[in-house]
A = this chain, B = another copy of it.
Amino acid sequence: MAATPLFRRIDVAPAYQKVADAIEREIINGRIKPGEPIGTEQQLVAQFGVNRSTVREGIRVLEEGGLIRRDSSRRLQACLPRYNKLATRLSRALILHEVTFRELFETSMTLEVASVEGAVERASEENIAELAANLERSAAVVGNPAELAELDAEFHVLMAKASQNRVLQLAREPAAQLFFPTTEMIVGGVPEGGARLVEAHGHILDAIRRRDKEAGVLWTRRHLQDWRRGFEKIASLDRSVEHTYMEHAYAARQ
């Protein structure tokens, strides 16, 4: 054993990670507010005393995490992570873990019911107006599965928004991203499927308007059970979320 070096190797984290962590801390602690500029790469190089390549690797980490973005002119700025983008990562994880539609359905049922309960309790006039507008557009495309499916997904997003609970909004997003794209197949495959969907939405909105929680929950349950019946005509609930289906959700993520 050679002369003991005596204290070394505490560094552990690579420099690019430290750069990312340092910037992240500033943002989380609120010293850099969303929308504020981070500075140019050159400035970061000067501040951290590392090479630009290293800074850039750190930036990529934060960018992927949704903490910073580049504005129109490509300058760096802090930003509020979009639920949507993060949820996409989670949806991807769910696919890789090969979850089944049964798991998806069960959890969505829980979360959508919670959404409607919150919406019945706390929906604002504006929330209700948005839902009403969505319903109107839905009624107009009742024969078009593709457009109707998109509006259905939006209806449920609006319902979560109307619950005024952002944690719930975020929690339902990953499952919803995988769940709702199937609507198109189902509505297209079941006669009167579109009409039933719009009818359910109508009753749900009505319940929210009347602050009638029981009715809201009842119709939300029916609505999802309808989905389930439709789905089971096409595939087994216990099959994993297929890669083929994944590609569908995937193409739409941009």
How far is B170's CA from A92's CA once the two chains are assembled, in angstroms?
Answer: 12
Map CB proximity to B onto A34-75 as digits: 1 under 8 Å, 0 otherwise: 100000000000000000010011001101111100000000
A172 in contact with B171 (CB, 8 Å): yes
A56 surroundings in chain B (CB, below 8 A):
53, 57
- Give the number of chain A interface residues (Cβ < 8 Å): 49
Q: Is the interface of A mostly helix, strand, loop or mixed?
A: helix
Q: Indicate if A155 sits at the interface (CB-CB under 8 A).
A: no
B28 in contact with A107 (CB, 8 Å): no
A92 surroundings in chain B (CB, below 8 A):
28, 65, 67, 81
Q: Indicate if A110 sits at the interface (CB-CB under 8 A).
A: yes
A27 surroundings in chain B (CB, below 8 A):
96
A81 shortest CB reach to chain B, Å: 4
B114 in contact with A93 (CB, 8 Å): no
A243 surroundings in chain B (CB, below 8 A):
28-30
